[in-house]
Structure 1
Amino acid sequence: MSIAIGHGGFTVDAWDPGYSAALAADALAELGATSAELDLDVEVPAADWRPVSPAPDAAPPAVMSIADGVRRIDARVWSHDAGVVPPSPGIAASYAAGIVRCTPGDGAPAQLAAVEVRRSLFTASPYASDIKTTAGVYRVEAAADDSMDGLSLALQQRLTELEVDLSIRARADDAGADDLLLVDGPLRGRTHLPRTVGYIKTHHTAYLPAPQAAVVSALGPGQRTPVFLMGTSWRRHAWYVALPVRSAAPWAGVVRCEGGADMKPDEAVRLADSVTLALPSLAGVDYKDPRAPQNLVPIGGLEKLLRHRLGDPRLLYRSLRAAADR
């Protein structure tokens, strides 16, 4: 949405202001500045970059599985270990992962394939024990340190591990299905999964030099950038895709996709074409989702279901308080 005022004008970002912007302002200001190692010549020479439409013989995946996870801190806790002062901090958290399957383009709703909920006590204390409550058991999970960042990182790592485990089990249960697995978020920690693509909705870092970043801005709906290799603390193929969107905000409707670094260039290009064909039909709509179009309809539905499966936070908090008072 673009609204002119006087001789100037401004653009309203399509995303609800309650969420972080799809493109961080500092990333926009620093286009061209990146510490990532880039190989921009994977598909075409860097000087020849321009918006790419999928090849005429390309097709979306027959089946797309989408994996996502949610997490919530139910309470901050302190472990009062005998003879240890001060007490050790921790967090009691609930987290869940799920997988839905859909057929891009057919309009049918996604089907739930797997879901699992876990509750854990994250702490660096070697003396902590499981917390048994009337609402469930919080199993002890070790954190590297007792800072809030360390505890939160341990929670995120366990959630990622649950997503990976669930993805492997769901594929094993559906042997022979040649599906494409889309994971909501970076591919890091999941690069070993076959036919798997990371799906990044927000852009906190501007990885591309200015000439190639301009190609991202020029993308039309259903187009992508050429495939490139990107290396930070890990390597992967990547490409940007533009989804249908009404907003004229910078990089509106643009997502980044990631594939494994071990693919051959032609394999990465075919995968990029297939994903680019699949995503527009799954894009969210702004009157239903404040993070549309990047928050795909199946992802939004799965997140809602998973948050429901986490349980009532007030009930869980009261059960933790009651367990502490015993």
Structure 2
Amino acid sequence: MTAVAGMNFSIDAWDPGYGSSMEAEELAQSGAEVELDVEVPAAEWAPIDPSPVSPPEAVLFVDGVRRIDARVWIDDPATSGEPANSASIGLCASYAAGVVCCCAGRAHVIGTDVRRGLFTVAPEADDIATPAGVYQAFRATAKEDKPLAVVLSSAVQEQLAETELKTAIEARKAIDGHVRGDLLVVDGPLRGRAHLDRAVGFIKSHQTTYLPGELNTMVGRLGPHQRTPVFLMGTTWVRHSWYLRLPSTGGPPWSGVVRVEAASHLGREEVAGLANLTQSVLGRFASVEYKDSRAPQNLYPIAGLERDLRHRLGDQQYVHRALRLAAAR
């Protein structure tokens, strides 16, 4: 297999494991409009204990992984022979999505999708064929208010999110008729997948504060399996959310606290029922410190799926060599 004729490119010598020789800036966190009176009036907010629920027959966990295999420089044919700084930078990335199904006392992977892509703003970019697979070209649009590295990284993330969505839909089709009810847990924000039935987003870490001071303090006082009331929040998109504490061995006030998201179109009773369901279900999968340094938030099915998907990406050194061979042709 050879590289597509007409596109010359070279591989950045900087080890992708250490980032890039051109570092990206952190994106600023935007503020959110919060509506507290969704489940109970704001004045009546208090930790909510678990309530009896009918558990689903299956819990589906959706996750994805991404890896930058190399940074490439794509020469503009119109400026052939000019200095290298006239070339456009691109990212060669491998990414994969998968779904693990927990049902009948066991966990098994029911769908995976592994892809490779070239992400760049260069209009002349084309697919790169290598012995490790074809890197499909995706052309991003440069933005004046964002560094190019951020634009390209976001483009990778967008394709990963689309792959996760496709894999989740196919996985549900695979179990249709075999189970009478399921809960779909997306590792990360629910954005772009809020239309899926019985789906929640699972956010393990916290970069910003959404609740007013006294209610934010209450989150740190949640006991194991307790949650906050549901609230509605809007940034660049609108969704329901609540905080939930997973069982943990102690630590800082927010140790074991996760934030869960649900679609904004759900009614009060429906979203409250979904929140109650997460209290009953998610704690069963919480990890422990001696097995996972990200315990308890890194749920066992998600951690196992991440390991499986990273293995499916292939050996990074082999992939990097394959890209160099393609560039030399």
TM-score between both structures, scaled by the size of structure 1? 0.86
Alpha-carbon distance between aligned partners in 2 of 1:38 and 1:150, rounded to the nearest angstrom: 28
Residue 154 (1) aligns with residue 155 (2): yes
* Mapping for residues 162-181 of structure 1, pairs under 5 Å: 162-176=163-177, 177=179, 178-181=181-184
Distance 2:247 2:51 in 1: 19
**Match of 1:39?**
35
- 2:229 aligned partner: 226
C-alpha distance in structure 2 between counterparts of 1:76 and 1:202, whole Å: 28
Q: Deviations over 1:77-126 (max 9, x none)?
A: 011121136111101000000000113xx7x3411010010001111111
- 1:62: how far off? 2.2
Q: Are 1:184 and 2:187 counterparts? A: yes
1:273-314 CA-to-partner distances (Å, cap 9, x unmatched) read 011110111001111111000000000000000001000000
- Asked whether the 8 Å contact 1:183–1:198 carries over to 2, the reply is yes
Match of 1:14 in 2: none
Q: Secondary structure at the match of 2:77?
A: coil
Contact 2:125–2:139 under 8 Å retained in 1? no
- Tell me which residue corresponds to 2:220: 217
Report the more deviating stretch, 164-173 or 263-272: 164-173
| Alpha carbons 2:110, 2:174 under 8 Å: kept | no
Show CA shifts across 1:5-60 (max 9, x none): xxxxxxxxxxxxxxxxxxxxxxxxxxxx983111111111111111101223x233
Mapped to 1, the partners of 2:300 and 2:38 lie a distance apart of: 31
Q: Tell whether 2:62 aligns with 1:59.
A: no
Which residue does 2:66 correspond to in 1? 71
Q: Supply the AA of the counterpart residue of 1:207.
A: Y
CA drift at 1:65:
0.4
- Report the CA distance shift for 1:44/1:183 in structure 2 as closer, same or farther (over 3 A): same
Task: Work out whether 1:241 is the aligned partner of 2:244.
Answer: yes
List 4+ stretches of structure 1 deviating above 4 A: none
* Residue in 2 that maps onto 1:317: 320
Q: Percent identity?
A: 52
Instruction: Kindly provide the CA deviation profile for residues 138-158 of structure 1, in whole angstroms up to 9, marking residues without a partner as x.
Output: 111111228111110000000
Alignment counterpart, residue 129 of structure 1, candidates 122, 126, 129: 126
Consecutive unaligned residues in structure 2, runs of 5 or more: 1-28
The corresponding residue for 2:44 is: 48
SS of the aligned residue for 2:262 comes to: strand
Checking the alignment, whether the CA contact within 8 Å between 2:246 and 2:283 is kept in structure 1 is yes
Which consecutive unaligned segments of at least 5 residues does structure 1 have?
Answer: 1-32
- Secondary structure of the residue that 1:320 maps to in structure 2? helix
RMSD: 1.5
